Amino acid sequence: MENDSEWITGQIKLSINGIPLEMQMTVPAKPVKPQRMLPIFQKMSNSFVEMGISAVEDSGQTISCKKGCTACCYQPIPLAEIEAYNIVELIENLPDPRRAEIKKRFDEACRRFHEIGWFEKLDRCAYLSKKEREKVVLEYFYENIACPFLEDEACSIYQARPLACREYLVTSPAENCSNPSPETVQMIEFQIKSAATLRQIGDSKNLNAIVNFLPLILALKWTEIHPDEFPEKTGERWMADFFQRLTNSQIPKEQNY
């Protein structure tokens, strides 16, 4: 472990579901909000996704997703709360009129989904059958409202996009995504689920405990109602929390964080 007072670098060696994992990570040495850890979690997620893609290709399958495919950007995207605060910060740092334009898209999307009662349906999802839940997702998709960050058929926040977007990859023909169904769209089932893990980190318990789904388009409204109350922890401790969730095992504290 090396420490230059601002940053600390260490080697991570783990086995997740039998998959050996070795990475060198540099994280903040001092306590920080989890949003500051997001670029590190995003980088890790990229590595896990690459591993998943290799496994799929080794099994003889091909990923159909390619530049210009945007059907998945019309789906409800589940955010980790950390990502919601980060998205707000990202938008607030945009120059006007771009900032105003993006906010308008969020507002318009929220207004429409309120009008059709979609958020209420989402809240009731836990009490619905699998088929009915799929219907709720499809209802969102068929409103044909793009993610507010989709511009010129590309993601305008590609480097900072949510982990769920990174993990949305399919092996079924790309054209099936424009008329999706569980039978016609085969998503990759990742062994290492970084998006789901991130959703558990910094969980404020403000979300519906049963549904636990924060759609991207609600990020601005939701963070307005729930100001950021995340604790500050060292980068090392945030990493330990992440891997603890990922591996379902306790990672001991080695020092006073």
- Give the nearest distance from C-beta 164 to ligand SF4 in angstroms: 8
The smaller minimum CB distance to ligand SF4, of residues 147 and 246, is found at: 147
Tell me the closest approach of the beta carbon of residue 94 to ligand SF4, in angstroms.
Answer: 14
Q: Residue 190 interacts with ligand SF4 (CB under 6 A)?
A: no
Closer to ligand SF4 by CB, 51 or 150: give it.
150
77 binds ligand SF4 (CB under 6 A): yes
- The distance of closest approach from Cβ of residue 151 to ligand SF4 in the complex, given in angstroms and rounded to an integer, is 8
CB of 160 to ligand SF4, least distance (A): 8
Interface segment toward ligand SF4; rule CB under 6 A; list 119-127, 131-139, 156-164, 191-199: 156-164
Residues 211 and 126 sit within 8 Å (Cβ to Cβ) = yes
- The site that binds ligand SF4 (CB under 6 A) totals a number of residues, namely 10
Binding mask 214-233 for ligand SF4 (x = CB under 6 A): --------------------
- Residues at the site binding ligand SF4, with contacts judged by CB under 6 A: 73, 77, 147, 149-150, 155, 157, 161-162, 165
